[in-house]
Amino acid sequence: MSDNRKNASFLRIVSVILSCLIISSCNNSVTRKITPKELQDHIKYLSSDSLKGRKTGSTGDSLAAIYIRDRLADCGLLPLSGDGFQRYYITDKVTAGTKNYCSVNGRDFISGNDFMPLAFSGDSGLESEVAFAGYGLNINNDSLKWNDYGNLDVKGKWALILRGDPEPEKSVSGFIPFNSDRDKALLAKDMGAAGVLLVSGPLNDQEDSFEALSSNDYSVELPVLRIKRSVADLILKKSNTTVTVLEARLNKTRKLSGFLTGTQVNAGSEVIRKQSPTRNVVMVLPGEDDKLKNEYVIVGAHFDHLGMGGPGSSSRAVDTIAVHHGADDNASGVGEMVELAEKFALTRGSHKRSMIFAAFSGEEEGLLGSKYFAENPGIDLTRVNAMINLDMVGRLKETNSLQISGIGTADSLKQIVSGFSDTNLIKTTFSEPGYGPSDHSSFYGKNIPVLFFSTGAHLDYHTPHDTWDKIDYKGMVAISDLVYRITRELADSPRRLKFEESGPRTDISQTIRRRGVTLGIMPDFAGNVKNGLRADFVTPGKPAALGGMKKGDIITSINGKTVNNIQDYMFRMSQLKHGQTISVEVLRDKEKLVLLIQL
C-alpha cells in the first residue's frame, strides 16, 4: 500500500474516532434517551447557590446564559446570529438622584430621611401652594361614589394626598382597585395638579417608613414625593390640623373636605434608572429538508429567576433575603429544552424544518426576553410553524398532571397533542387559549401557534425552597418524551399549521374586569412602544374589535386623556363603565385615528 493510501486510510479512521467522541461528549447515553442524570446535572448547576437566583441582569443570569449556549453548541447547534447571544438592556434598579430637594416655608428637609421621590416621579420641580386632596380619589360606580376633587381647585399646585384608602382594615374593599400611589398621582395630574405629595397616616402605616423604589413603574411626568408625617404636619400647620386627625375624620365620617393649606412648598425630584445588560440565548438546528428548512419550530424556556428575593421581587417569602434557587421555575424547563435539543440533533430524520432553541431572560420581569426576541427575531416569523414553551415542568409526581395550553391556536393542534398523549402515563389537562403568564404569549401575539407545558404551581413557588432535590426527574423524562413526539410532528410533518385566534386570557384583563370594563385586547406588557400602548391582539367580538381597533394599533389616549404605557391604560380603564361610549385615539401606520368604542 502506498504512503498516500496509508495516510488517507489513517485520516478516515481518525475522522470516525473524532465523530464518535463528539457524539459521546454530547450524549452519554448510547440509546440517545434523555436520562434523569442529565436533567439533574443541568438543574443542579442552574439552581445552585453560585448563580444566586439568576436575577435578570445579574452575574448569575450571565453565567446561566453562557452555560446554556455552550451546552447547545456542544450538541452541534449553531448561533442564529453572532455568538448565539441576543443582547438587550433592562431597567433593573431605580434610585433617588442627587437633585431631590424639599423646602416648606423656607425650611429645608433631607432626601431619604424626610422625603423621597417615587419611582414614577418625573424629573422636575415646582414652587407652589399646597392643596389637601384627601385620599386623592374620584370613584363613581354603582356601589361606590367618592370624589376628593369635587370643589377643590388643584391646578398648578401641589396636591397633598393621603396614601391608602378609608377602609385600611378590610382585605376586601371597593376602594382597593383605586388606591395605588401611581393611580392617585395620575388622577391628580388629570385634575391639573403640577406636583403630588403623598403621605401615610398612622392607620395606613404606623411606621411611616419608605419602601424601596420599584423598577417596573413608568413616569407620570410630574414631580411626586413621598413625605413623612412630620413634614406634612408642618404643611398643615396653618390649617390647625394634622395628618392623623384628617385620616381619622375621613375614615369615620366619610365627609370629603379638600382645602387650600396656605403653605408654599418648593420641591423637586430626580430619579435615576440604572440599566443593565442581559441576553437571550438563541441557537439553531438546521432542517434536514431542502425546502422545509426555511421554516421553523421554536422551543423555548426562560432561565431567569428572582435572585435573592426581597421587596419588589415578587417573592412569596416577603421577609426573606436568600437565594431563590428556581429549580422548577425554570431550571427544569431549560434543562428539558437542552436535552430535547440534543435528542433532535442526534436523531436523523427528526426535523425537516429548522429548529430554534431559545432560552429567554427577563421572563420574571414581564416576558422581557421573549418580547424582545419576538420584536427582533432575525428570521421571518411568518415561517414559524409553532412555538413550544417549557416553564415549570419538574413537579409531575405531586399531581401526576401536565397542563398543556394553547391547543386552540391552530386548526389541528388539539388532535396532534391528544393523539400523542397517553393518559395511562401522564394525566394531561388541556386549555385552548394562547395567552398565559409565560413566554409563549409573546409569540401568540405574533399569530404563531403555541403550546405551553407546565406541571403547575406549588408551595415552593417563588420561595427559596424551590430546590433541585425536590424535582421529579423521572417525571421530567416522561414529559420530555411526550414533548419530543409532539414537537417532532410539528418539525417534520410537511403539513403546515394554520393559526387560529384563541384568547386572549390575561391576568391584567382580569384585574381590569374587576375594576369595571375591558376593551378586549392583549396589551404590549413589555413596553416596546414609547408614548403609547400597542394592542398586540384584538379579540373578535369584543368592544375594541367592534369599534374598529386592529392588532398593532397604538393607543395614545382614552377620552382625551393620555396613555403612555400599560399602567396608564389600566388606570384609564378603571374609570370607565359598562355601556359607556368612549373615544380612543390610536396610531395606525403613523396615521392618527379616533375610534368610538362602546363598552
CATH number of 33-89+278-492: 3.40.630.10
The arithmetic mean of pLDDT across residues 385-395, rounded, is 97
Contacts of 363 (CB under 8 A, 6+ apart): 302, 304, 330, 369, 370, 391, 438, 439
- Residue 288 predicted with pLDDT over 50: yes
- Residue 13 predicted with pLDDT over 60: no
Alpha helices in 27-169 (DSSP H): 36-46, 59-74
Query: All 3 cell numbers of residue 91?
Result: 431597567
pLDDT for position 516: 57
DSSP-derived secondary structure for 394-424: --HHHH-EEEEE-TTSBTTHHHHHHHH--TT
pLDDT for position 509: 39
- Residue 310 predicted with pLDDT over 80: yes
Phi, psi of 493 (to 5 degrees): -70, 135
pLDDT for position 506: 45
98-269 is a CATH 3.50.30.30 domain = yes
Cα(422)–Cα(279) distance, integer angstroms: 37
pLDDT for position 19: 43
- pTM assigned to the model: 0.74
pLDDT for position 20: 44
Q: Alpha carbon 160 to chain centroid distance?
A: 32
Closest CA relative to residue 393, chosen from 428, 424, 345, 444: 428
Phi, psi of 507 (to 5 degrees): -60, -40
Phi, psi of 330 (to 5 degrees): -135, 45
Pick the CATH number of 508-598 from 2.30.130.40, 2.30.42.10, 1.10.10.60, 2.60.40.10: 2.30.42.10
Query: Distances in Å between the alpha carbon of 253 and those of 115, 167, 249, 250, 557?
Result: 29, 12, 6, 6, 36
Most confident of the ranges 31-35, 68-72, 210-214, 401-405: 68-72
Cα(283)–Cα(278) distance, integer angstroms: 16
Mean pLDDT of the chain: 89
pLDDT tens, position by position, 71-123: 999 999 999 999 999 999 998 888 999 999 999 998 999 999 999 999 999 99
Higher pLDDT, 132 or 572: 132
pLDDT for position 26: 46
172 by Cβ neighbours in 10 Å (0-12 / 13-18 / 19+) ranks as exposed
Higher pLDDT, 528 or 278: 278
**What is the percent of the chain where pLDDT is above 90?**
68
pLDDT for position 242: 97
Cα(53)–Cα(51) distance, integer angstroms: 6
pLDDT for position 16: 39
Phi, psi of 491 (to 5 degrees): -90, -20
Q: Which of 102-116, 529-543, 547-561 has the weakest average pLDDT?
A: 529-543
Closest CA relative to residue 72, chosen from 29, 26, 31: 26
Give the three-state DSSP class for 10: helix
Query: All 3 cell numbers of residue 352?
Result: 425537516
The arithmetic mean of pLDDT across residues 505-533, rounded, is 64
Residue 500 C-beta-side C-alpha neighbours within 13 Å: 15
584 by Cβ neighbours in 10 Å (0-12 / 13-18 / 19+) ranks as buried
Closest CA relative to residue 166, chosen from 151, 158, 178, 154: 178
pLDDT tens, position by position, 129-162: 999 999 999 998 878 999 999 989 999 999 999 9
